A and B are shown apart, each in its own frame.
Chain A
Amino acid sequence: MNEIRILSPTGVCGSGFLESSFEKALALRPHFIGCDAGSTDPGPSHLGTGEAAFPRAAVKRDLRLMLKGARRIGVPLLIGSAGTAGGDPHVEWFCDIVKEIAHEEALAFRLAVVHAQQDKTYLKKRLREGRIKPLDPAPPFEEATIDRSACIVGMMGAEPFMRALELGADVVVAGRASDCAIFAAMPVMRDFSEGIAWHAAKILECGAAAVVNRRTPDCMFAWVREDHFIVEAPDETLMCTPQSIASHSLYENADPFRLIESSGTLDLTESRYEQHGERAVKVSGSRFLPAPRYTVKLEGAEKAGYQSIVIGSVRDPFIIRQIDDWTGRLTERIHARVNQVYGETLKRADYVVHIRVYGKNGTMGPLEPVKEIRSHELCLIIEITAPTQEIASSIAGIVRHQGLHLPIPEWSGLITALACPYNPAHLDRGAVYRFNVNHVVEPDDPLEMFRTRWYAVEGALFEEIPE
């Protein structure tokens, strides 16, 4: 039967999977192994600082099994969104782990490294040409945004993976990539139905997340065929049902029926889900509508400032019953003292004082529908964001002292209003970042934003080679 068998060891490289499931899946002879290694879900700091969200040792454990397994059965290993955010520092960090494993395990392979970090001059050119378009909702995106950004990546589609496979890559380490593109590339390249290929990819990219009873991150396996695909978890205790597979298209998606990719839209409105044997599900009817214009989604992060926080709690019911007033007065006191200390050198607009009140509306802020609280204690996180760490730390010092002794009318005499569990009372958080773009680029060619470098890897040898 004409089919492509695909193994997805886990939803994110570094989150783990059972070695027993992985071995069972290898015995099913997959045509390739794919694994997503990133997301925006851990937040903007990873894109901003270049640091990965998962520990190096955890990524190395997963990657070692995948590399050894792929080489043992002689099939490609495709990794997307290396190092969480998929920028150049993340890809470099990830490749360093690949290099170390190859050396330790004496592995030999042809490695394609696809870069997704975007050149600022290129982006400015496309912006001037009107070929960067906002999604909804989107912050403003201007040349100044590009200049301010610590890092902007493009989310690659399936094409860079296809090209690497055509040119004989054994291992592909890609920067930021559509999670689904990792898994759709080979079936689409071999002319399988795009609707079936992309839908299978959507289920696979989260590993075993689509089973009924997932206890721990684990492997998922799919058989992609002409007009359907079958999906099953290699671990015999895990079960897929039509409902569990259909439900998976809801997770972290804005629209459960239409999933937008660079080259088109996966349309699930006509998808059919049927139980296949005891633990597998057969899916058919999914369609892929090619986009009139190829687009590449951008993700960018810029520094929002440097932060220090003070954590303190309040137990006095007199303070609790007037907490909004108290925090309002505290904020004004902080501003007044900052003005005494810094004068004209630090304006009020240059720094932010934000007080989170846990026990009241810390989780939902202004959207919290419960207005009357009955908490007998409250936790305050008083957060200072400023242009330098030194200023943020200094203001946090002011916060501690002002907060401790801010009076209330019920008591006369000097009070101590905040219980501080940590000493020093403030914590420096370093640079903090924000996402600053939700736009797409219209390139001339799906490959133009993603350059690939090739390496010959053989044990300790790691040598760049021509394409």
Chain B
Amino acid sequence: MTMLAELARLIRSKNAGPFELTFDVMFEDAARYERVKRSGALTREAVAQRYGLSPERVKFFYCDNALAVKATIPRPAVQGDLYDADGHGGQQYAPLMDIEIP
């Protein structure tokens, strides 16, 4: 088992407009990307579970030509609204880092 953060070259989160939050998990090479893609550990369901959502609220993509996995969720609080703590959405990815990849 390896942690996702050890395989990715970059895991990031960012606003996709004021109402959505998007995650990019990017890889240096095809081998590591394919390993994660085939593992079945980084999925729509895995993301949903880590952000307390039902899977149908998660948009999920494998981007082969970018060697990246992408997920988008409704923002927990609208950007800049009273209970929002992360105006750019940039520090919301930590729960993805320790996903175990076989």
Contact = CB atoms under 8 A, between A and B. Distances in A.
A and B from one assembly?
Answer: yes
Interface of A: 40-45, 135, 137-139, 242-243, 246-247, 249-257, 271, 273, 299, 304, 352, 354, 356, 362-367, 369, 383, 385, 432-435, 438
A356 B18 contact: no
Interface size class of B (residues with CB under 8 A): 35 or more
A296 to B, nearest CB: 15
Nearest to B29: A243
A369 B61 contact: no
Select the residue from A137, A250, A363, A369 with max chain B CB neighbours within 10 A.
A250
B70 A138 contact: no
Contacts of A243: 65-67
B72 interface: yes
B52 to A, nearest CB: 6
The 8 A-B pairs at the shortest CB distance, nearest first, are namely: A43-B80, A246-B66, A247-B66, A254-B16, A246-B65, A254-B72, A44-B80, A435-B18
B85 A252 contact: no
A169 B65 CA distance: 39
A304 B82 contact: yes
A242 B67 CA distance: 10
B88 interface: yes
Contact of B80 (A45, A242, A249, A362): A45
27 contacts: A40-B18, A43-B80, A44-B18, A135-B19, A137-B19, A137-B75, A247-B24, A247-B67, A250-B22, A250-B63, A250-B70, A251-B14, A255-B61, A256-B68, A356-B85, A363-B91, A363-B92, A367-B51, A367-B92, A369-B50, A383-B82, A433-B80, A434-B78, A435-B19, A435-B79, A435-B81, A438-B17
Interface string B1-22: 0000000000000111111101
B9 to A, nearest CB: 10
A137 B95 contact: no
B70 A256 contact: yes
A352 B84 CA distance: 14
Given A246-B63, A256-B68, A369-B95, 19 more contacts: A40-B17, A40-B79, A44-B80, A45-B80, A137-B19, A247-B68, A250-B26, A250-B63, A250-B70, A251-B14, A252-B15, A253-B16, A253-B22, A273-B65, A365-B77, A434-B78, A434-B82, A435-B18, A435-B78
Interface of B: 14-20, 22, 24, 26, 50-52, 59, 61, 63, 65-68, 70, 72, 74-83, 85-88, 91-92, 94-95
A433 B61 CA distance: 33
A74 B68 CA distance: 41
Select the residue from B16, B59, B81 with max chain A CB neighbours within 10 A.
B81
Nearest to B81: A434
Contact of B20 (A137, A247, A251): A137
B79 A438 contact: no
Contact of A43 (B87, B91, B95): B87
Given A137-B20, A356-B85, A250 B78 contact: no
Given A41-B15, A250-B66, A255 B59 contact: yes
Contacts of B18: 40, 44, 299, 435, 438
Contacts of A251: 14, 24
A250 B82 contact: no
Contacts of A435: 18-19, 78-81
B7 to A, nearest CB: 16
A40 B83 CA distance: 18
A320 B19 CA distance: 34
Contacts of A432: 82
A138 B74 CA distance: 10
Given A367-B52, A367-B76, A369-B95, A254 B87 contact: no
A254 B22 contact: yes
A252 to B, nearest CB: 5
Given A41-B15, A356-B85, A247 B95 contact: no
Nearest to B22: A254
Contacts of B75: 137
Select the residue from A251, A354, A364 with max chain B CB neighbours within 10 A.
A364
A432 B80 CA distance: 9
Contacts of B72: 254-255
A85 to B, nearest CB: 12
Contacts of B76: 365-367
Nearest to A381: B85
A254 B59 contact: yes
Contact of B19 (A364, A367, A438): A438
Given A243-B67, A304-B82, A365-B85, A252 B61 contact: no
A255 B92 CA distance: 18
B29 to A, nearest CB: 10
A383 B88 CA distance: 19
A256 B63 contact: yes
Contacts of A254: 16-17, 20, 22, 59, 72
